[in-house]
Amino acid sequence: MSNVRVFLLIAPLCLLLLISAACTSDVSAPGIDANEAPVGESVTNVNSGATVATPVQPQIASHNETNGNGAENTAPTEHTPPSQTEQDTTPGADTTLTQSNIPENQPDGAPNDWNDNETSQQATPSTTSPSAPPSQEPPAEQPEPTPPDDGLIVLTILGDGVSGETMWTLDRLQSMSEGYRENTYSTTNNWPSYGHTSAHGISLPYLLQQAGVLSSAASFKFTAADGYHFTVTHSQIFDTRLSYASHRPAGSSGASAVEPVIAWEWGDIGNVRQENLRVFFGHNSPWEVNTSAFVAGLIQIEVSSALRGAWEAPETSISDGSIVPAGAELSFLHDSMDSIRIYYTLDGSEPDYSSPVYNRSTSYFQPDLILPLILTESVTLKAFAAGLGKDVSSIVTFSFMVEET
């Protein structure tokens, strides 16, 4: 009987303990700590509803890297920029250029995507992640070339062939109305092809006189902002040069004298536009190449007392005084064949710029236009070499006797 009483007293207590234990197991923590989740799995925070991933191991993250759900990772990570040719291709990851992989020698105008403020395509770095790289100064912006503004020095004239160095603004050049010219130039290049260009600017002889050119001046070196340069002689500036109204391979006509100019407006006839400074020259003959001397982006003229000298006179493939069979082929020889034109006669008369031209193209463009002369009768050959950059060569004479058949 006493045992029954003990059981009846203990049983309710045990029941209460069981009920209490069951209630305790139903009241769980309000959320699950991501650090307690199994490694490599994702769990949901019941307060925020956000999915967070637990790292498998410490990772090296690229700038602004995201997880597979597109949300930024904010776990502390060490930032290592990708290599120059490598970019993060993880889905959702930022693949814009960083300073370490921006191409070298990038063309002007290409976006500096590694600069957050440069383009709208650059993703905004995380403000909570220490993986973001330190801020860096962007490279100097390279503006598109534009015509110079008034007040800016656009041309310098110097050298021992002028009384002193002078600097010129565009406004000052344009103010010299006495020297202003609007010229049309016939043009020949090395191909050769032919055309016309209109140029509005200051007469080059007039400008040089205003700059104090000396009587000792012998050569003039024109240098562009990009380093290209071309040198001409005193006579090629101050002697008469020509432009041809009709200018074509079949023949040019309508020659008129034209001064060289430094132009700030130039282009096709009827379509000139303001540009950076460019120098223009006429010809001595329709075949003379003048486009190589049209230095664009001109910034400096160096006037020197040093003589450029004359071109070497041409030579021939057959020795002077030779007796040759009918049909023998005769070629001219010259060390600077692609820089000059050779003018010749076969009747013993003095050649000039209206005489036939031996090399109408260059060896690297149209060598088929450089043809040997066919000797069918005895001749007295006279020739000279000419081209911009040096004075004309002396006239040389050769005699060839063709065997009678």
Task: Work out the number of other CB atoms within 10 angstroms of the CB of residue 141.
Answer: 10
Q: Is the peptide bond before 192 cis (omega within 30 degrees of 0)?
A: yes
Asked if 114 and 98 touch (Cβ cutoff 8 Å), the reply is: yes
Report the pLDDT value the prediction gives residue 82, as an integer from 0 to 100: 29
Q: Is the peptide bond before 356 cis (omega within 30 degrees of 0)?
A: no
Report the pLDDT value the prediction gives residue 405, as an integer from 0 to 100: 74
pLDDT tens-digit readout, 209-227? 999 999 999 999 999 999 9
Residue with tokens 């923590």: 29
pLDDT tens-digit readout, 23-56? 544 443 333 333 333 333 333 333 334 333 333 3
Distance in angstroms (rounded) separating the CA atoms of residues 38 and 48: 20
Task: Say yes or no to pLDDT of 203 above 80.
Answer: yes
Collapsed DSSP state (helix, strand, coil) of residue 206: helix
Report the pLDDT value the prediction gives residue 234, as an integer from 0 to 100: 98
* b/e 5-28 (16+ beta carbons within 10 angstroms → b): eeeeeeeeeeeeeeeeeeeeeeee
Where in the chain are the domains?
53-126, 153-304, 315-402
Residue with tokens 């220490």: 130
Residue of higher predicted confidence among 376 and 121: 376
DSSP letter for each residue of 85-97:
T----STT---S-
Asked if 254 and 244 touch (Cβ cutoff 8 Å), the reply is: yes
Equal fold, 153-304 vs 315-402: no
Task: Say yes or no to pLDDT of 84 above 70.
Answer: no
Residue 251 has φ and ψ, to the nearest 5°, of 150, 150
Nearest to 242 by CA among 284, 201, 189: 284
Going through 161-268 in order, the beta strands assigned E by DSSP cover 166-169, 180-188, 194-203, 219-224, 229-233, 242-246, 253-257, 261-268
- Give the fold, CATH level 3, of 153-304: Sulfite Oxidase; Chain A, domain 2 (3.90.420)
Report the DSSP beta bridge partners of residue 200: 182, 265
Alpha helices in 227-285 (DSSP H): 234-238
Task: Say yes or no to pLDDT of 21 above 80.
Answer: no
Give the CA count within 13 Å in the CB-facing half-sphere of 400.
24
Mean pLDDT of the region 339-367: 97
Task: Say yes or no to pLDDT of 133 above 80.
Answer: no
Strand 298-304 versus strand 153-158 pairing type: parallel
Sort 81 into a burial class: Cβ within 10 Å, 0-12 / 13-18 / 19+: middle
Asked if 367 and 359 touch (Cβ cutoff 8 Å), the reply is: no
Strand 373-375 versus strand 328-330 pairing type: antiparallel
Please give the class, per CATH, of domain 315-402.
mainly beta
